Structures are given as structure tokens and as C-alpha cells.
Amino acid sequence: MSTVIEQALQARLVASAPRMDVVPVVLRYDPADPFAVRMVFPAAATLEGVEAVWEFSRDLLAAGAEEPAGVGDVRIRPFGHDRTVVEFHAVEGVAVVHLRTGEIRRFLRRTRHVVPSGCEHLFLDLDQDLALLLRDAH
């Protein structure tokens, strides 16, 4: 049984207008997928009106809280003294959110308590993953 870590936080969604809307998001970490974190946006905060989940590297989140990181669909960088900017790039456009850096660091500390950095491979179930791949191949 794995201990899933969830942390609710307020994200400031940067719109094209000069205002920022505050939306609740949840950062989620599951030791069964030890390299990844997920950021969950509620249906009310998405264009399609359905919950949106972005999955990206825990290391990317940690690096981006300290200095610009990411070159793909998810890019993260510090913004001022206490904010971190997360950019989500998709075919439909780019979504930009501001998060409190302290909340990101607290979430990362909690995840590292369950799965220390550098030990992620110890939490992989390669036999199960291989069985799933082989089952899906048929």
C-alpha cells in the first residue's frame, strides 16, 4: 500500500487581461510512480470544463523552484522572492500559474520523506510494469 501525498494550494492563473484569477489546485505524489508529480486543476478552471491533470518530473519541480528549468511542455522558474511560475504548453495554448515557492518546497519535503531523492528506483515495481506492457502488447 502506498501513501499518496496531496497538497491543496492556491494558484494564480495568469490571464491575457492584467488580472490574475485564483484557482485551487492539488499537487499529488504517489510513491508507486516515484519520479512523477501531478498538478490537478478543477473542472471550473479549465476551458473544457473537465478536471485537468498535468504530470511532470518531481526533479523538474524542485529544480524550477530554484532556477529556470524545463524545455518541453512544462517549464518552471522562480519569480521574485516567494513565487514560482509554472508554464504548461499545449496545442491549445499556454497556461501560466504562479505558486508560492514555500508551499512547493513543503510539498517536496513531504514527498522526500516517503521516497528520498535518488532512491526512486527502489520504489518501482518492474515485474508489474513489465507484465502490464506484455499484456497490452497482445
Confidence of residue 62 (pLDDT cuts 50, 70, 90): very high
Identify residue 130 by its one-letter amino acid code: L
Q: Tens digit of pLDDT for each residue in 107-133? A: 999 999 999 888 788 777 766 666 766
- As a dihedral over the C-alpha atoms of residue 10, residue 98, residue 80, residue 18, rounded to 10 degrees, the angle is -110
Question: What pLDDT shows up at residue 3?
Answer: 87
Angle at 17 between CA 85 and CA 63, to 5 degrees: 5
CA dihedral sign of residues 95, 98, 101, 106:
negative
Confidence of residue 104 (pLDDT cuts 50, 70, 90): very high
Which has the minimum average pLDDT: 13-17, 90-94, 98-102?
Answer: 13-17
Q: Tens digit of pLDDT for each residue in 8-60? A: 999 988 865 555 588 899 999 999 999 999 999 988 877 778 899 999 999 99
Q: What is the value of pTM for the model shown?
A: 0.84
Q: For residue 54, give the nearest of 78, 72, 32, 80 by alpha carbon.
A: 72
Question: What pLDDT shows up at residue 5?
Answer: 93
Q: Is the pLDDT of residue 105 over 90?
A: yes
- Please identify which residue in the block is written with the cell numbers 519569480: 79
**Residue 67: Cβ within 10 Å count:** 9
Three-class SS of 33-87:
CCCEEEEEECHHHCCCCCCEEEEEEHHHHHHHCCCCECCCCEEEEEECCCEEEEE
Q: CB-based contacts of 90: which residues, under 8 Å, 6+ apart?
A: 73
Confidence of residue 135 (pLDDT cuts 50, 70, 90): confident
Q: Is the pLDDT of residue 85 over 90?
A: yes
